[in-house]
Amino acid sequence: MRCITLESDNPFFNLAVEEVLLKNSREDYLILGINKPSLIIGKHQSAHKEANTKFITENNIPVIRRITGGGTVFHDKGNLNFSFIQQSESGKQIDFKKYTLPVIEFLSSVNIEAIFEGKNDLKVGGYKISGNAEHVYRNRVLHHGTILFSASLDQLRNSIRKDKSGYTTRAVESNPSSVMNLKEMLDRYNDVYELRSGMMKYFLHTIPEAEISNLSTDDAKAAEILVAAKYNTWEWNWAYGPEYTFRNTFQFKGNPHHCVLIVKDGIITGCSIDGSLEMLSFSDKLVGCRHMVSDLSGFFKKENITIPEEEIYNFF
């Protein structure tokens, strides 16, 4: 097994690396990485339904879709990401317990008793410290997960939408859990980088035929191409996923308004806004507009409709 420590903290690139090594190689990999703040959603989720659109927009936190299923997780530089990419036997490819067991054993070696619970979580004392997801590609499997060490729990909670009742969709739901950091329980590690180093040393000693490796120049270039073509695109991160309907009631210029947006492939395909003649007059014009903050802001300016910046988020 090739063991790689990713030097990049770019979540777009690091997710692309996983896909490149999954699809372009037959070797087995263990990858450890740390990302800048980002909200990582599952392949079959609705981005706006999962993200607190207002908070992530105002704080420049990117939403990035991964190729694995499951729910939404928050990454920052207090969170350690681990990935296993391996050849797999048909019929035995989806196996969360198999791939989380080495992590549980590592944590046990530093006196943290973690247990596998539910479909894909690791918990300590009833609190979630790790979310996991998998993707099968032919006879290979990608399993990746997180370890909360010293993540900003405030940013984590604020980045994820709490009230999702405005969205109706077939998209996969996240299952919110109470979370905790491990830093206070792991005083041997001063920061997440020391945790990463300790975890890598443990795996090198306990996984048969594990050896330190580096990301090749060719694989890095392939990942950069994939970032530009996929991971850093609106089409993948926001437009991909099932159709959804958004409903909201809000005040505008002192009057109650009701909004219904039907969105397919990220584009508003149906729109109804009632409550005033002004809003009613441009409802049809929103059809064809991307369901994005910047696009709606631009639309209102073009139509000479003065809407305070804060109220744009009534449409999300």
Is 90 a residue whose pLDDT tops 80?
no
pLDDT-based confidence at residue 80 (cuts at 50, 70, 90): very high
CA-to-CA dists, residue 207 to 92, 93, 172, 200, 303, angstroms:
20, 19, 34, 10, 62
Statement to judge: residues 307 and 203 lie in one domain: no
Q: How far apart (Å, rounded) are the C-alpha atoms in residues 142 and 85?
A: 5
- pLDDT of amino acid 297: 94
User: Percentage of the chain with pLDDT > 70?
Assistant: 100
Q: What is the DSSP letter of 179?
A: B
Statement to judge: residues 131 and 163 lie in one domain: yes
Domain of 292, in residue numbers: 244-315
117-126 per-position pLDDT tens digit: 988 999 999 9
Average pLDDT for 84-110: 91
Statement to judge: residues 211 and 285 lie in one domain: no
The label of the residue with tokens 């704080």 reads: 59
User: Percentage of the chain with pLDDT > 90?
Assistant: 86
Is 91 a residue whose pLDDT tops 80?
no
Q: How far apart (Å, rounded) are the C-alpha atoms in residues 26 and 134?
A: 17
Give yes or no for a contact between 96 and 116, defined as CB atoms under 8 angstroms apart: yes
What CATH number does the domain containing 287 carry? 3.30.390.50
234-257 per-position pLDDT tens digit: 999 999 999 999 999 998 888 899
What CATH number does the domain containing 123 carry? 3.30.930.10
The label of the residue with tokens 């050849």 reads: 87
